Chains A and B, each alone.
Chain A
Amino acid sequence: AQRVTQPEKLLSVFKGAPVELKCNYSYSGSPELFWYVQYSRQRLQLLLRHISRESIKGFTADLNKGETSFHLKKPFAQEEDSAMYYCALSVRAGGGADGLTFGKGTHLIIQP
């Protein structure tokens, strides 16, 4: 079965500093990886998906199949980035996408 690991429950950095949220996965096939963000009192929102290879709100994430990682990075943190971040994995079964397997999440706090 697939698994997503986010080793840091909490990450605190100062405004303007670089941010890296770690995510590792285990799955023998070719999964699709996502980052979701949940701001205070709001619902989960899609931040990034690896197949689109785009940068959202200054965040990027590269899928490293050798290291089975999908770390989320931003060069200069902003206070509005404070939120809960979830890494998630989807496995295609029978041509359709499966439900998401989530990591436990990392609470990112940006200090002024």
Chain B
Amino acid sequence: GAVVSQHPSRVICKSGTSVKIECRSLDFQATTMFWYRQFPKQSLMLMATSNEGSKATYEQGVEKDKFLINHASLTLSTLTVTSAHPEDSSFYICSAREPVGETQYFGPGTRLLVL
């Protein structure tokens, strides 16, 4: 099946720094990728839809200047958490939509801890 990778798998940073998370589709091209956030013991919440070659679409309540998304190629989307604060600590998961059946394949997630 299709594989989606995320890097890094976990990151610890100081408050005020920026963190970049990469999401790659390894064996298929994805014009659309999605970014989700999962708090402990809660479900995944869609943050934004990342479209190759165009601006990302953000869900209500998600600050686009806080969570910068770049989908520069058909296999790579990046999420940058700018000026991170402790409340941004969470599990960030991406998915990539394969073009034929349109199934979403999920990455393993990135655990962010902001001190």
Contact = CB atoms under 8 A, between A and B. Distances in A.
B46 A43 contact: no
Q: How large is the interface on B (under 10, 10 to 19, 20 to 34, 35 or more residues)?
A: 20 to 34
B2 to A, nearest CB: 10
Q: Chain A contact residues: over half helix, strand or loop, or mixed?
A: strand
Interface residues of A, number: 17
B108 A43 contact: yes
Contacts, number: 42
A6 B104 CA distance: 21
Given A86-B43, A86-B44, A104-B43, A96 B107 contact: no
Contact of B109 (A36, A43, A86, A104): A43
Interface of B: 32, 34, 36, 42-46, 48-49, 59, 93, 95, 97, 102-109
